[in-house]
Copies of this chain bind each other. A is one copy, B any other.
Amino acid sequence: MITIGVIGATGYAGYETVRLLLNHSEFTITTLVSKSFAGKKISTIYPNLAGVCDLVLEELNYDKILKKASCFIVALPHGTSQDVIATLYKAGKKIVDLSADYRYTNQALYETTYNVPHKYESILKKAVYGLPELFKENLTNCQLVANPGCYPTCSLLGLAPLIDSGLIDLTSIIIDAVSGVTGAGRKQDLMYQFNECTENFLAYKVASHRHTSEIEEKLSLLADENINVTFTPHLAPMKRGMMATIYSTLLKPITASDLYKVYNNYYQNEYFIRVKEHDQMVNTKQVVGSNFVDISVHVDSKTNKAIIVSAIDNIGKGASSQAIQNLNLMYGFDEKLGISQPGTYL
């Protein structure tokens, strides 16, 4: 068994990573780090784990943790993550970083978007963007993976075949997205209080969400030209689940069934991507609890638009299970190991 540590183990993404690793045949958790709860068992914070995982949370003491584990998943806030990653990297550990700190190729874009300087340019250049369905070859045997944001995961996987196909006007892309409330993390904010969230739907950060630049950078990379997108996130009254409804203008007419073929062909070797046939609807509950991505494709011939609906579990494929998929690839394992289960549905 490979020894693994999770740093930032009590936030939602960290916790979910722990829960998934407990079910993995090749990794064994040897250290859990939490600034807020060091000294307590993780099962005190997440009592569902009692009897299954009662590890005591530790301070971030490098002397200790570097000896304990050969790889790490880091689930710290943006900005905070930079230094930790750098230290682990220099110590030769394999790392998956869930923050935005090592996601950007363009360092300046990161700094503008997150309003912090990046102190580790050389490490940033080594980091691989961990979206396996698009960049799988880069992931094998790499040392540092930057796990994509949830909205970028959902949006990029929905768009990649369209970009690749040359079918659309690249200036016309609009992404209308919806997230469950776990996207906001484990925090005590009035806005995310039950009474405020339940039975409510809202748009937020319209045309100003930070994930926009991440989406644009990776799309531009795929298209080999600069792409801007219009991106609007919303919050729906559910814990988990994410959907992107993506609009773009077709350069020439195509039928929905031909567009389906484009998608089905593009993703034919991808276990985790399911392109829906014509009469099937995409529901977030069909992917929640899993690493799957469900995609349906539509054409509005009257207005000449391609409409793509893409759904993921925001803290599964959008965070924790994708981190494990990346880890599997970094070690040369089958990418499905420990995360092949279907969504829970109920």
A48-B198 contact, Cβ under 8 Å, with A203-B245, A236-B236: no
Per the CB 8 Å criterion, the residue count for chain A at the interface is 89
Q: Which of A178-229 contact B (CB under 8 A)?
A: 178, 180-182, 186-190, 192-204, 206-207, 228-229
- Contact between B199 and A240 (Cβ–Cβ < 8 Å)? yes
- Contact between B232 and A245 (Cβ–Cβ < 8 Å)? yes
Q: Name the contact of A51 in the complex, choosing from B22, B192, B236, B292 (C-beta under 8 A).
A: B292
Q: Which of A273-296 contact B (CB under 8 A)?
A: 274, 276, 280-290, 292, 294, 296
Q: Which of A220-279 contact B (CB under 8 A)?
A: 228-230, 232, 234, 236-241, 243, 245, 247, 271, 274, 276
User: What are 24 A-B pairs at a CB distance below 8 A?
Assistant: A16-B346, A47-B280, A47-B283, A47-B294, A48-B342, A51-B342, A53-B342, A174-B303, A178-B178, A180-B201, A187-B193, A194-B194, A194-B196, A194-B198, A199-B238, A199-B285, A201-B241, A202-B281, A204-B281, A228-B302, A230-B303, A230-B305, A247-B247, A344-B344
Check A299 for interface membership: any CB of B closer than 8 A: yes
- Contact between B15 and A345 (Cβ–Cβ < 8 Å)? yes
Known: A50-B274, A203-B281. 14 other contacts (CB 8 A): A12-B195, A22-B342, A48-B287, A50-B286, A171-B303, A176-B245, A180-B199, A180-B201, A186-B193, A189-B193, A196-B285, A198-B239, A199-B284, A207-B299
A237-B237 contact, Cβ under 8 Å, with A22-B341, A340-B52: yes
Q: Which of A44-71 contact B (CB under 8 A)?
A: 46-53
Name the CB-closest residue of B to A190: B188
Name the CB-closest residue of B to A300: B207
- Contact between A247 and B283 (Cβ–Cβ < 8 Å)? no
Q: Which of A129-186 contact B (CB under 8 A)?
A: 171, 174, 176, 178, 180-182, 186
